[in-house]
């Protein structure tokens, strides 16, 4: 894994970007991928979404670990961050953080039809306080969140991100419509509003914690909370540990 810095921003070398999307990178981590996976299709390419098993990956050695870590580096560099958000050793079990890899085979994503990794998605649970339209707070304990997402340059504009979001969140008992998305870029906001118009397209309230949550989901949380314990006055809000969402047109 190779990185360079420009000021306070990470950069990912071109050879690293090429390698993480190669069949060889997939071969290095394949024994650490869960046997069961969601399958779908995007722009004619067959996609498999596999959960990474950290204990298995660690046992495979540094080369295998560097595949996921290099994907984390690539994601951070694309976002212009000073530090990467996704590493194997940095996953927090108490927050049920998981990393999934998207594997594609077939054209146009894999032009030679050899399977390869084309995307990464990190999810986890967070305890959030969210504002409604009136400015009042509603609690969202152990909320399923999208913490990091990256799509390889060779596979963009092929529906990979949408397929990964639906598959992973669904496998965790959630849905894109009810998820909290950590600090999406303007392009990702547009993607969510367009592709998930029934939820994010109906409106989003800016949050202190900078998570994006559909207004309809906040209203649902309010309805579920009615009659429950009230939030203590003076308690600080928006202080959650999270990750930034990959910018772009994934």
b/e 44-78 (16+ beta carbons within 10 angstroms → b): ebbbbbbbbbbeebeeeeeebbbbbbbbbbbbbbb
Round to whole Å and give the CA distance between 5 and 90.
21
Question: Lowest mean pLDDT: which of 16-25, 78-87, 147-156?
Answer: 78-87
Residue carrying structure tokens 């996609």: 47
pLDDT value at 249 more than 50: no
Q: How many CA atoms lie within 13 A of 56 on its CB side?
A: 11
Round to whole Å and give the CA distance between 110 and 154.
8
The pTM for the full model equals 0.84
Dihedral of CA atoms 164, 167, 169, 174 in degrees, nearest 10, equals 150
Token pair in block for residue 234:
């003076």
CATH superfamily of 3-225: Gcn5-related N-acetyltransferase (GNAT) (3.40.630.30)
CA distances from residue 152 to 12, 78, 240 in whole angstroms, order as listed: 12, 10, 28
Cα-Cα end-to-end distance for the chain? 23
Q: Yes or no: say if 110 and 120 are a contact pair by the CB < 8 Å rule.
A: no
Round to whole Å and give the CA distance between 29 and 19.
13
pLDDT value at 206 more than 90: no
Residue carrying structure tokens 């397929």: 163
Give pLDDT tens digits for 154-167: 888 888 889 899 99
Residue carrying structure tokens 């990474």: 52
pLDDT band for 235, please (50, 70, 90 cuts).
Answer: very low
pLDDT band for 108, please (50, 70, 90 cuts).
Answer: low
CA distances from residue 21 to 115, 161, 198 in whole angstroms, order as listed: 9, 15, 33
Round to whole Å and give the CA distance between 67 and 62.
9
Domain extents for the chain?
Answer: 3-225
Percent of the chain with pLDDT over 70: 81
Average pLDDT, the chain: 83
Round to whole Å and give the CA distance between 121 and 99.
6
Round to whole Å and give the CA distance between 84 and 246.
11
Paired residues of 152 in beta bridges: none
């Amino acid at each position: 894994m190779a990185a360079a810095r420009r000021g306070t921003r990470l950069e990912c070398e071109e050879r690293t970007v090429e390698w993480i999307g190669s069949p060889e990178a997939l071969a290095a981590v394949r024994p650490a991928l869960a046997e069961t996976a969601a399958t779908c299709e995007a722009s004619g390419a067959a996609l498999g979404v596999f959960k990474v098993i950290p204990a298995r990956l660690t046992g495979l050695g540094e080369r295998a670990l560097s595949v996921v870590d290099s994907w984390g580096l690539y994601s951070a560099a694309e976002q212009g961050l000073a530090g990467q958000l996704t590493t194997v050793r940095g996953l927090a079990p108490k927050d049920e953080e998981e990393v999934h890899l998207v594997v594609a085979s077939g054209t146009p994503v894999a032009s030679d039809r050899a399977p390869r990794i084309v995307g990464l998605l990190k999810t986890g649970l967070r305890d959030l306080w969210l504002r409604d339209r009136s400015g009042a707070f509603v609690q969202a304990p152990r909320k399923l969140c999208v913490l990091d997402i990256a799509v390889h340059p060779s596979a963009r504009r092929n529906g990979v991100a949408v397929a990964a979001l639906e598959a992973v969140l669904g496998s965790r008992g959630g849905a894109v419509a009810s998820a909290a998305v950590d600090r999406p870029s303007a392009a990702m906001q547009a993607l969510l509003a367009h592709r998930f118009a029934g939820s994010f397209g109906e409106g989003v309230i800016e949050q202190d914690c900078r998570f994006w949550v559909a207004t309809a989901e906040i209203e649902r949380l309010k309805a579920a909370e009615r009659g429950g314990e009230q939030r203590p006055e003076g308690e600080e809000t928006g202080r959650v540990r999270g990750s930034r969402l990959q910018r772009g047109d994934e």
